[in-house]
Amino acid sequence: MINSSSDNVKKLGSINRRMFITGSLKFLVMIGLVSRLFFLQVKENKKYLTLSDKNRIREWKLAPVRGEFHDYFGNVIAGNFEAYQLHVIPEQVEDFRYVIYRLKDLLELSEKEFQKVLKKKNEIKPWETLIVSDNLDWNKFSKINNHLYDLNGVKPVISISRNYPFGDNFTHVLGYVSQANEKDIENNEVVKKNFVPGLKIGKVGLEKSFENQLIGTNDIERYEVNAYGRRISQLEFQKGEKGKTLKLTVDVEIQKLSNELLKDQAGSICVMDIFTGEIIAMHSSPSFDPNLFVFGISQDDWQIIRNDPMKPLVNKTLQGNYSPGSTIKPIVALSALENGIINKNFTVKCTGKTEMYGQTYHCWKKEGHGFVSLRNAMKQSCDTYFYEISRRLGVDKLSETAKKFGLGEKVFGDLFNIEKKGLIPNTEWKKNALGKGWLLGETMITGIGQGYIQTTPIQLCLMTAQIANGGYKIYPKIIYGDENKNQPEDKYTPLYQNSKNIKIIQDAMFGSTNEVMGTSYRSRIDDLKYQFAGKTGTAQVKKITERDRELDLKTFEIPYEERDHALYIAYGPYINPRYALSVLVEHGGNGSTTAAPMAKKLFKLIIDRHQLRESINNKKYLEI
């Protein structure tokens, strides 16, 4: 009995201990659950509320509205239009195969287009947006909207895309936009911040140079979705800012005429205000339609552009390095005058050729020009005269004057990353670059714009403008207003030592165009309103052999790629100069018959539009 009673007491104690332990554990679990619930509902309230909202509320960033480009008169030369796009996010699609085949039928995609979409899908992550089409017509866009109930994960999007209303007229000025790639996004924080699938950004030209100002900021749309991810209602719409609209100094009408004049030819035309440096026209030919690149250029179109022997992708105005030919002669003469090597009465006898250390240097006129002074030498473009004065002058002094007038340096600074500097050679350059000493014969051919010397068409235009304005430094600009950062306060610095020397050169250029025997006499305009002064140039692209001289072939008889380049520089009106221009036609033969007639047509339009341009200026001053 005693043992039995003792066992019962032990059992009871054991049970009590177990109950205590179990109760304690329950209590601890309860405390843990309460604590956890308190933590989740109170402490972590904001976090889980946010996560809940993320499941319920979606945010959609729309493509920013890109700023426009206008010409001087307010014409839109790069604008925007509404583009209808179709996006699909693969991970949000329950049955991708079904959806994509439905879209193929609804959009009437060809097999090639369909395979292209499938290829894109395989190249992206499941959560990334697949752009099925970025430029749907309204009918197909409406059809998709009517079938959205059956197309889970499909998003019709109204986006903003670029449009170039003047086609190929401004391609080499503006450039073009195309879809941003990974490199574009990685290298530009502004693009990364505003990126949405299908975003178009500037690839070349001013579109690229001013990308950060043009891009704008995103519209943001917030909306509520159901458990299946379908939109229920819009909650908020945050309007983004449109990109900055930039006004250029160019004139659409003069730009269009430049394009027409160079039709079917390779070359460049530049027109500049000789006092403000404003670019009135800047065209490179051949060009191409930038609209082709906006939604991705087709392989056929790309091959046509890329394989064109006239190289439409090259901006000849800024990238083309050409021998200036006789258009350099005004600078050679000015340098000789400034350095006291000659005066305006200095005379040379031209017999058609000059012998120097066993080398023969020919004048373009076989029988020679006889005795010529500076004015007649410029008028008739006598090579012998310029051989002699450049020999006396030396290449280093010539180089100094040429650089002073804008040759051998980028005209727009860093504005266009493709712009070339050209080359104005001197003795130090040859020693450093080629490891050889300078030769006298090289000075002589430099004096007629051949040899190592290389210039761009925009440099020749600037050089001419600074001769025309009386010899004062100007800083060319193509962006109207405060956007131009290239122009310091100390503009209009004299580039001459004696202003009389500039007047001598201006008078000689007048004779070259407006007097009998002048090389561009046939392109003159007698009406003083339009009268201009200029200088022709012909740049050799291959060495002329004795056999070539004997054959004396006409331009059309020479293979295209062996023909000389034709150049012309001019300014007008002569009495009160305001505009300068340069014309270059690749393999155009000679400046007098090919390039100068273009200048004649240009000056008529340029001068006629001058009053319209001035009225804009006057309006601006009145507003100030």
The 10s digit of each residue's pLDDT in 149-185 is 777 778 887 778 899 999 999 999 999 999 888 898 8
Quick check: 585 pLDDT over 80? Answer: yes
Strand ranges (E), 267-321: 267-273, 279-285
- What residues have CB less than 8 Å from 231, skipping those under 6 apart? 58, 223, 224, 225
Q: What is the 8-class DSSP label of residue 128?
A: S
User: Could you tell me what percent of the chain has a pLDDT over 90?
Assistant: 59
Which pLDDT value is given to residue 255?
A: 98
Q: Kind of pairing, strands 177-179 and 154-163?
A: unpaired
Fold of 61-247: Penicillin-binding protein 2a (Domain 2) (3.90.1310)
CB atoms within 10 A of CB 161: 20
pLDDT band for position 622 (cuts 50, 70, 90)? very low
**pLDDT tens digits, residue range 100-115?**
888 888 888 888 778 8
Residue listed under structure tokens 């809940």: 52
Biggest distance spanned by C-alpha atoms of the chain: 157
Residue 576 has pLDDT above 70, yes or no: yes
Spans of all domains in the chain: 61-247, 252-303+314-623
Amino acid identity, residue 354?
A: T
Tokens of 200: 């178009």
Cα-Cα-Cα-Cα dihedral of 525, 529, 530, 536, to 10°? 70
Residue 192 has pLDDT above 80, yes or no: yes
Query: What span, in angstroms and rounded, lies between the C-alpha atoms of 37 and 165?
Result: 64
Q: What pLDDT score does 19 carry?
A: 75
152, 94 in Cβ contact below 8 A?
Answer: yes
Strands 279-285, 267-273: parallel, antiparallel or unpaired by DSSP? antiparallel
Band of residue 231 on the pLDDT scale cut at 50, 70, 90: low
**pLDDT averaged over every residue in the chain:** 87
- Residues 397-426 have a mean pLDDT of 96
**Domain 252-303+314-623 in this protein, CATH class:** alpha beta
Tokens standing for residue 170 = 């401004």
Query: Among 35-44, 143-152, 424-433, which is the least confidently predicted range?
Result: 35-44
Q: Which residues partner with 574 through β-bridges? A: none
pLDDT value, residue 63: 80
Half-sphere exposure of 217 (CA within 13 A, CB side): 5
The tokens for 457 are 């068409």
Strand ranges inside 264-330, DSSP E: 267-273, 279-285
Tens-place pLDDT, residues 235-293: 667 788 999 999 999 999 999 999 999 999 999 999 999 999 999 999 999 999 999 99
**pLDDT tens profile 501-513:** 999 999 999 999 9
Containing H/E element for 246?
strand 246-247
Tally the residues of the chain.
624
Name the β-bridge partners of 454.
Answer: 423
